[in-house]
Structure 1
Amino acid sequence: MMDFQQRFKTSPEVIASAPGRVNLLGEHTDYNDGFVLPTAIPQRTTVAIGFSADDRHHFYSVELNESVAVVPADSPPQGFASYVYGCIRVVETAGHPVPPLAVFVTSSVPIGSGLSSSAALEVAVLRGLRSLLQLDLDDVKLAQLGQQAEMQYAGVSCGILDQMACSLADSEHMLFLDTRTLDRQLLPFPTGAEMVVIDSGVARSLATSGYNQRRAECEAAAHQLGVKALRDVTDPQQVASLPEPIRRRARHVITENNRVLKVLAGISAPEFGALMNASHASLRDDYEVSVPALERLVEILQAMPDVFGARLTGAGFGGACVALVAAGQAQAIATNALNLYNRAGYNGRILVG
């Protein structure tokens, strides 16, 4: 595999990385100031950063085999480079000059699977910049800068969930996060349970999917209910007077927040799984972000012995499914589920399990 030295004819100054994430509960709640429950996955994005040999930024992605050169004063690039450039620009906007850089990106986080490949890239780049430029930025500030980069330079009106998870979560715990206050705590996985994540093989793009539309619908619902955000409504009955489809969009967010909060009390694996199943039904029926491939995969997982619950994870419109399963059974369950899924004509792959 080509490395930084081969590509740029010099050595990197710093190397940094960040994990992808899977969200166990709390989908489409973060941009509504709500509650989320992600965990980090083993797959990571790694960046090597050095100084450019000329007056341009040079970015290279191993997985995409794509090279981009950017004059710092030019308009933002497209594709993966927009995230890297966006991180540089938000650091500069925060008052920290950035010289022309060479950035070499490699990643095992699947792209378009709902596992935060973009946020992992942003956090890795920002960690690299923090080290290279000796910036006084904590992990929360890094997440906030990553969110700004994605919104301003990649055109996705994202919440803070993905960047906070990639910056602060680990793979041994669940990260409970209040996205309004950024209060957070690490919680243990339910006793006797572990996680399976399977990619449906159907990629999706947030900027071109219905993501921004859903966000606008939620803002319209909050406005009609007279609240700052849907987080401020706790009773699903309060949305009964709203017109469709924003009534159903709001109902999903309210019930999803309530599901996440139930976990704080400490619940069993079967109870947690039931919440995941309810979350999926809400994402399918009220939020309408599922697709046939995800439905088939979730159906297969939910029907298997030793599976407590399963749901789509990420924004939907494709991507991955996550399941909570009996400890010690993840590998067998993932293999059997994938075989059934692919036999049905799909092309999935196991990501965790």
Structure 2
Amino acid sequence: MSYSHLDLAAAFAGRFGNEPDGLWSAPGRVNVIGEHTDYNDGFVLPFAIQHSTTIAVAVRTNRIVRVASTFAPDDDPVTADLDALEEGSVEGWAAYPLGVLWALEQSGHRCPGMDLLVDSSVPVGAGLSSSAALECAVAIAANELSEAGVSRRELAAIGQLAENRMVGAPTGIMDQSASLLGEAGQAVFLDCRSGDSRLVPLDLKGAGLELMVIDTRVSHSHSTGGYAARRRSCERGAEMMGVAALRDLSVGDLAEGAGVLDEETFRRVRHVVTENARVEDAVQLLGAKGPVALGPLLVASHASMRDDFEISCPELDTAVEVSLDTGALGARMTGGGFGGSAIVLASVDDMPAIRAAVVRAFSVAGFRAPVIFSVLPSAGAGRVV
């Protein structure tokens, strides 16, 4: 249960002994389609959700930063000197907020010392980008408090730099862009090579639809294991195909790729190339027919991630299959994979039956009970108090 703004300000005063200078918030995100395309210079279509991370911040008179969390109210704050921060110098969750301040300074912007208290309603490990929500809340606050004047597009790159270099997670720029650039009722169509983006209307309510998140409660980590291995496969595939990034290949190039690449690398490449095409198709369909037309693309995206990219798991497959069998228009896993969440697109009237069927199927399979909730395209990061 996240704190109200008033309660968070009071908790900050109790922890640090003075009032905060303000509260800033940044949302998590759901990716409609476009998975593992971002670090391949491709296309993505996420939107900001109503679940967010909020931070209370007060500027200090020195270069010391103290960060604390409402999730560990009895723990001492993590303390760091901005002048001593360097890659890998911070471990655990504090690497995200401190990494953003480090990245801002690496980009030429001097930050003041500050005290931060973090609170969040974004489920951790659910593939909804709780990490980027924290990064973007800190970025938007530090940008204002230091009067740096950094654009939101630049702040997204700073958040990515923090996650890549301080945290050590080789993620792309999608999550930070969605959190910073999102608007209510809109998805963000992002070209991850150029950084250009535009908003695409995603009127779920107007179409009588709901987008449901099924958090499988199978946690994942971007800084270890399969995510990094998939990224290396993509880089190897691009090199073997003679292109700068997989973004430069079209579906028509896959026939040639089958003769050049080993079987596993070919499947990794095929996922990224076809997923890029699905993102562009999704944007076109949203403009022509609205969100009701997205279903088949979601289904194809999940099959590609399950079979070609091999990042699904039994819980995700069950959530998708049962949802489709119970009347969903489309469903797929979302996020980096190896756990996390699935999304389900269905009519509002069909959602109760889908939800009940998924809960029942998880119980029969012996899985942990999923956490299920609906999301709507929501506003991006900003000051709240």
For residue 169 of structure 1, the aligned residue among 182, 185, 199 is 182
| 1:122-201 equivalence runs, <5 A | 122-189=135-202, 191-201=207-217
1:107 aligns with 2:120: yes
Residues of 2 paired with 1:245 and 1:321: CA distance? 24
Q: 8 Å contact 1:14–1:50 — kept in the other structure?
A: yes
Residues of 2 paired with 1:325 and 1:162: CA distance? 24
User: What corresponds to 1:319 in structure 2?
Assistant: 340
Q: 8 Å contact 2:326–2:353 — kept in the other structure?
A: no
**Cα offsets for 1:161-186 (capped at 9, x unmatched):** 11101111134222111111222222
1:239 aligns with 2:250: no
CA shift at 1:324, angstroms?
1.0
User: What corresponds to 2:374 in structure 1?
Assistant: 352
Name the count of aligned residue pairs: 352
Q: 8 Å contact 1:192–1:269 — kept in the other structure?
A: no
**Cα offsets for 1:235-271 (capped at 9, x unmatched):** 2323212112110000000000111111232245454
Counterpart of 1:227 in 2: which secondary structure? coil
Relative to structure 1, the CA distance from residue 272 to residue 238 in structure 2 (aligned partners, 3 Å threshold; closer, same or farther) is: farther
Residues of 1 paired with 2:334 and 2:164: CA distance? 21
Return the TM-score normalized by structure 2. 0.87
Q: 8 Å contact 1:14–1:131 — kept in the other structure?
A: no
For residue 276 of structure 2, the aligned residue among 251, 257, 270 is 257
Return the TM-score normalized by structure 1. 0.94
Residues of 2 paired with 1:170 and 1:63: CA distance? 28
User: What corresponds to 2:29 in structure 1?
Assistant: 21
User: What corresponds to 1:60 in structure 2?
Assistant: 68
Counterpart of 2:284 in 1: which secondary structure? coil
For residue 8 of structure 1, the aligned residue among 3, 16, 19 is 16
Residues of 1 paired with 2:64 and 2:196: CA distance? 39
Relative to structure 1, the CA distance from residue 187 to residue 332 in structure 2 (aligned partners, 3 Å threshold; closer, same or farther) is: farther
Residues of 2 paired with 1:230 and 1:64: CA distance? 42
Q: Considering Cα pairs closer than 8 Å and 6+ residues apart, tell me whether 1 or 2 has the greater RCO.
A: 2
Relative to structure 1, the CA distance from residue 55 to residue 165 in structure 2 (aligned partners, 3 Å threshold; closer, same or farther) is: closer
Relative to structure 1, the CA distance from residue 127 to residue 342 in structure 2 (aligned partners, 3 Å threshold; closer, same or farther) is: farther
Counterpart of 2:263 in 1: which secondary structure? coil
User: What corresponds to 1:203 in structure 2?
Assistant: 219
**Range moving further from structure 2, 96-105 or 17-26:** 96-105
Relative to structure 1, the CA distance from residue 185 to residue 345 in structure 2 (aligned partners, 3 Å threshold; closer, same or farther) is: same
User: What corresponds to 1:216 in structure 2?
Assistant: 232
CA RMSD in angstroms comes to: 1.9
**Range moving further from structure 2, 57-66 or 209-218:** 57-66
Counterpart of 1:278 in 2: which secondary structure? helix
User: What corresponds to 1:69 in structure 2?
Assistant: 79
Q: 8 Å contact 1:42–1:171 — kept in the other structure?
A: no
Residue identity opposite 1:99 in structure 2: P
Counterpart of 1:36 in 2: which secondary structure? strand
Q: 8 Å contact 1:200–1:349 — kept in the other structure?
A: yes
Residues of 1 paired with 2:117 and 2:149: CA distance? 23
Q: Which runs of 5+ in 1 are unaligned?
A: none
Q: Which runs of 5+ in 2 are unaligned?
A: 1-6, 376-385
Give % identity: 41
CA shift at 1:343, angstroms?
4.4
**Range moving further from structure 2, 317-326 or 70-79:** 70-79
User: What corresponds to 2:295 in structure 1?
Assistant: 273
CA shift at 1:130, angstroms?
1.4
User: What corresponds to 1:38 in structure 2?
Assistant: 46
